[in-house]
Amino acid sequence: MQIIEDSRNIKLISMADTEIIEVGKRGVVEIAPYYENGEMASVLWFKVIGENKDRNRPAARVNGKYVTEILYA
Expressed as residue numbers, the domain containing 68 is: 3-72
> What is the model's pLDDT at position 16?
84
CB proximity list for 28: less than 8 A, separation 6 or greater: 21, 22, 48, 49, 50, 59
pLDDT (tens place) for every residue of the chain, 73 residues total = 789 899 999 999 999 887 999 999 999 999 999 999 988 899 999 999 998 767 677 889 999 999 999 999 9
- DSSP class of residue 9 equals P
At 31 the pLDDT is: 96
Distance CA 69, CA 53 (A): 24
Domain count, the chain: 1
Q: Which DSSP symbol is given to 41? A: S
Interatomic CA distance for residues 26 and 21, integer angstroms? 9
Do 43 and 26 meet the contact criterion of CB atoms below 8 Å apart?
no
